[in-house]
Amino acid sequence: MLQYGHIESEIEVLLIVRKIIIMVFISIFLVSCSSQQDGGITLRATENEMVVPDHLEENALRVAFASVVSPQQTRKKYNLLIDYLEDKLDKPIVIVQKQTYDEVNQMIKLGEVDLAFICSLSYVIGKEQNYLEGLVAPKINDKSQYRSYIIAHKNSEIESFEDLEGKRFAFVDPYSYSGRLAVLDLLNARGLTTEFFEEIFYTYSHDYSVSAVARGAVEAAAVDSILFDQLVELDNEDAKLIKIIEYGSYAGTPPIVVSNKIDEDLKHNIKNALLFLKDDPIGNDILHELGIDEYIIIDEKRYLPIVNTLHLLGESNEKN
């Protein structure tokens, strides 16, 4: 007689071992990837956060960054802009960098930071709950919109979204539009849920997601079209190994926002400094370094695709 209980137990053990192997592989990959960039970030890291010191000057402007790209790369990209704002505002600036979008939104809500560079989904949530205000949005390659790219390895047999069934998939952040919500929308349009994938992971930065697919840690991912296009332009080695198999809906580009607790005059001065960057030779050079044409007034209609899909976040939206 076949010992079904024994066989089922063996199968369960094999499944558990397989899952552990996959998780170890992904963890090792991410640590290896980040050790070349920012000293060892994992799936959910806090060691790279910039913390406001206790002795901070009272008049300092506190600026938060959510890590759209890896923390070190974020700081490197925006240091020139921060220096410029310090000079224009005649005000010291302290950077507060968090790994997740939700952490940054919570700091804005509590008034722990004054100015923030956030995701478009985080902006929509913050606006709906009335704890932040949008200042400006970037125009890039003459567009003030972006979308999600669903990517796979160029040598894989994955050619369409339907081919992702039963595959390992990487989201960027629970509150990323291009890195998660746009995928939930694509699934919903097909009558599917995330159970369509074998397993899902969070990388907490778009460049890590690109690397995760390129190096085989996961079979597919969702990433920011702006970031990916920039990687392609820079001849990035990981981006060379990627193909795009599906596109999310266009939405407004990730804006710069302020806490609703900020001083009105300071808000006005920051907004003007950003809007007129393009008219200042130094500011124009900074925009060029950032890959941005200019900062423009926010067009709220651009964010309606996000507003209209917020319900797909489910209970996770309630905690914000």
Q: What is the pLDDT of residues 83-102, one digit of tens each?
A: 999 999 999 999 887 778 89
Distance CA 56, CA 242 (A): 44
Number of domains making up the chain: 2
Domain assignment of residue 56, yes or no: no
Reply yes or no on whether the pLDDT at 27 is more than 60. no
Reply yes or no on whether the pLDDT at 145 is more than 50. yes
Among 251, 273, 301, give the residue marking a domain's end: 251
Hey, how many other C-beta atoms are within 10 angstroms of the C-beta on 42? 16
pLDDT digits (tens, 9 = 90+) for 122-142: 999 999 999 999 999 999 999
Domain assignment of residue 30, yes or no: no
Among 197, 226, 251, give the residue marking a domain's end: 251
Residue 239's CATH number: 3.40.190.10
Domain assignment of residue 16, yes or no: no
Domain with 162, as residue range(s), is 145-251
Distances (CA, A) of 229 to 33, 236, 240: 20, 10, 11
Domain assignment of residue 43, yes or no: no
CB 61 within 8 A of CB 91: yes
- Please state whether beta strands 93-98 and 61-66 pair in parallel, antiparallel, or not at all (unpaired): parallel
124 and 261 part of one domain? yes
Distance CA 119, CA 64 (A): 12
227 and 209 part of one domain? yes
CB 146 within 8 A of CB 230: no
Place of tokens 């968090």: 98
Domain assignment of residue 234, yes or no: yes
229 and 275 part of one domain? no
222 and 291 part of one domain? no
Place of tokens 């130094």: 282
What is the model's pLDDT at position 293? 96
> Which pTM was predicted?
0.80
What is the model's pLDDT at position 136? 97
27 CB-side CA count, 13 A: 8
∠ CA 184-177-35, nearest 5°, is 105
CB 132 within 8 A of CB 259: yes
Among 225, 251, 277, give the residue marking a domain's end: 251
Distances (CA, A) of 202 to 169, 259, 260, 263: 9, 27, 30, 36
16, 33, 20, 18: which is closest to 216 by C-alpha? 33
Residue 291, phi-psi category: left (phi > 0), alpha (psi -120 to 50), beta (remainder):
left
